Amino acid sequence: MTSSYMNEMQTPQKVLLGPGPSSVHPRVLQAMSMPVMGHLDPAFFQVMDDVCEMLRLVFHTSNKMTVPISSTGTGAMETACTNIIEPGDTVLICRNGYFGIRLGDIAERCGATVHLMDTPWGHPVDPQMLRDEIKKLPALKAVGVVHAETSTGVLSSVKELVEVIHEAGALAIVDAVTSLGGHEVRMDDWGLDVCYSATQKCLGAPPGLAPISLSDAAMDVVAKRKSKVQSFYFNLKDLESYWNQTRAYHHTSPINMTYALREALRMMMEEGIDKRIERHARVAAGLRAGVEALGMDLLAEEGARLNPLTTVSIPEGIEDGKVRRALLNDYDIEIGGGLGEFAGKAWRIGLMGESARERNVFALLSALETLLNKEGYEVAYGASLSAAQKAIATYGE
Ligand SMILES: Cc1ncc(COP(=O)(O)O)c(C=O)c1O
């Protein structure tokens, strides 16, 4: 076999309807192609300040410590845990899917005594169950919860959960990787202590940055640690210095990703945060109606369904990989397969950020109708499209 590295890179245009990354608007890609500046150039400091100011608006917070971490979402999970948790601390992690499991793993690696509260996949974390669980535990430092579980398509009521967490005097660490920009996240009103996200989902930028925000109380906990944060790269004290204080070098910022995030956030401000959240809800209502018209079951509990991500049960007799491959190769549409417990059983359809458009719902449903009929799963042509069209047209009535 000959190597292909001397060939020009082929990057075919795909419609990204998986669990992330989502499609990126040309304006954002164009911003990324602007000349590289130095990370200590005052002109770049202005870009940084713009990004932080808009991130505060999206998180609905006045937290000074609101910055994008140079990493994907997992780096923000590490940042949250390594800075808040010290060896010997007791923490509780709510697990109702794959990313709760990951959060528990990261907390354990910080040397904490980690208690795990499991909820069956497909269901939200129950505040009363959390209250009962917390009562059984000794002094808790923090509780971790995933707002939008991308593996199951479930949204938990973070506002209620945080009330319970605060009754116990613990800090709330909230994963908003799939919710920020696609569902309401009100950091200050809901009293979140630490909240993080990632750029490649509802924020509309490529993968590569992970916004995080910490309340003053949470930053105080970081400042009063007995032990050094074990990660140099993710230690918030130095990051705070670079982003908000002396601008002292800590690591070389991913300059062009920062341009991308600035432009993606600017587009969100132009659209309006609430309008954007409503757009996610409207197209998700269309997708859900269309999928149900195809006779397929939704896996997330009714009333707790995510808008940016819908989990669909794969009909019996339908080969997961074959359909997803055909969607990708013949229709240029990417959807996601199941993760963990849902592997091979579910499709994960994302409508996030720039991908959350009516046209994508119709393109996907019409492709699915064709492919499912080809595979012997008979559906009436046009049925899912008209159900989706109706749900979208009547949304909010
Ligand atoms: C809820 C949630 N948390 C964390 C992550 C990890 O983010 P990343 O893959 O960007 O590292 C993801 C990624 O899909 C996610 O959906």
Question: What average pLDDT does this structure show over 200-208?
Answer: 98
Using the predicted structure, report yes or no on whether residue 394 has a pLDDT greater than 80.
yes
Question: What residues line ligand 1, using a CB cutoff of 6 Å?
Answer: 19-20, 72-74, 77, 99, 146, 150, 175, 177-178, 198, 207
CA of 215 to the centre of ligand 1 (A): 22
Position 2 scores a pLDDT of 77
Topology (CATH level 3) of domain 272-393 = Aspartate Aminotransferase, domain 1 (3.90.1150)
211, 55 in Cβ contact below 8 A?
A: yes
Q: Give the whole-angstrom CA distance, residue 285 versus residue 158.
A: 22
Question: What is the C-alpha end-to-end distance of the chain, expressed in Å?
Answer: 59
Position 315 scores a pLDDT of 95
Give residue-wise pLDDT tens across range 13-70: 999 999 999 999 999 999 999 999 999 999 999 999 999 999 999 999 999 999 999 9
By percentage, how much of the chain surpasses pLDDT 90? 98
Paired with 118 in beta bridges are 95
Q: Residue whose CA is closest, atom 16 of ligand 1?
A: 150
Q: Looking at this protein, which amino acid is placed at residue 348?
A: R
Domains of the chain, by residue range, sit at 26-269, 272-393
Q: At what angle do helices 236-244 and 42-59 cross, to 10 degrees?
A: 110
Q: Residue whose CA is closest, atom 13 of ligand 1?
A: 73
CA of 330 to the centre of ligand 1 (A): 28
Q: Give the whole-angstrom CA distance, residue 330 versus residue 51.
A: 38
Give residue-wise pLDDT tens across range 244-254: 999 999 999 99
CA of 377 to the centre of ligand 1 (A): 33
Q: Give the whole-angstrom CA distance, residue 186 versus residue 178.
A: 14
Going by the DSSP 8-state scheme, the letter that residue 305 receives in this structure is B
**Substitution site in 173, 177, 201, 348 for ligand 1 pocket (most atoms within 8 Å of beta carbon):** 177
Question: What average pLDDT does this structure show over 196-214?
Answer: 98
Using the predicted structure, report yes or no on whether residue 92 has a pLDDT greater than 80.
yes
CA of 219 to the centre of ligand 1 (A): 23
184, 307 in Cβ contact below 8 A?
A: no
CA of 177 to the centre of ligand 1 (A): 6
Position 336 scores a pLDDT of 98
Position 138 scores a pLDDT of 82
73, 210 in Cβ contact below 8 A?
A: yes
Mean pLDDT of all residues belonging to the chain: 97
CA of 21 to the centre of ligand 1 (A): 10
Q: Do domains 26-269 and 272-393 have the same CATH topology?
A: no
Give residue-wise pLDDT tens across range 319-332: 999 999 999 999 99
310, 299 in Cβ contact below 8 A?
A: no
Closest ligand 1 atom to residue 150 Cα is: 16
Position 246 scores a pLDDT of 94
- Residue 233 — pLDDT band, cuts 50, 70, 90? very high
Torsion, CA 36, CA 40, CA 46, CA 52, rounded to 10: 100
Closest ligand 1 atom to residue 72 Cα is: 10
Using the predicted structure, report yes or no on whether residue 1 has a pLDDT greater than 70.
no
Q: Which three-class secondary structure state does DSSP give residue 353?
A: helix
Closest ligand 1 atom to residue 77 Cα is: 4
Closest ligand 1 atom to residue 151 Cα is: 16
Q: What is the pTM of this model?
A: 0.98
The token pair that represents 136 in the structure block:
């059984």
What's the Cα-to-Cα distance from 149 to each of 95, 122, 175, 205, 390, rounded to whole Å?
A: 9, 9, 9, 20, 28
Q: Give the whole-angstrom CA distance, residue 365 versus residue 362.
A: 5
Q: Give the whole-angstrom CA distance, residue 258 versus residue 245.
A: 18
Q: Which three-class secondary structure state does DSSP give residue 69?
A: strand
Class of domain 26-269 as given by CATH: alpha beta
The C-alpha R_g of the chain, in whole angstroms, comes to 21
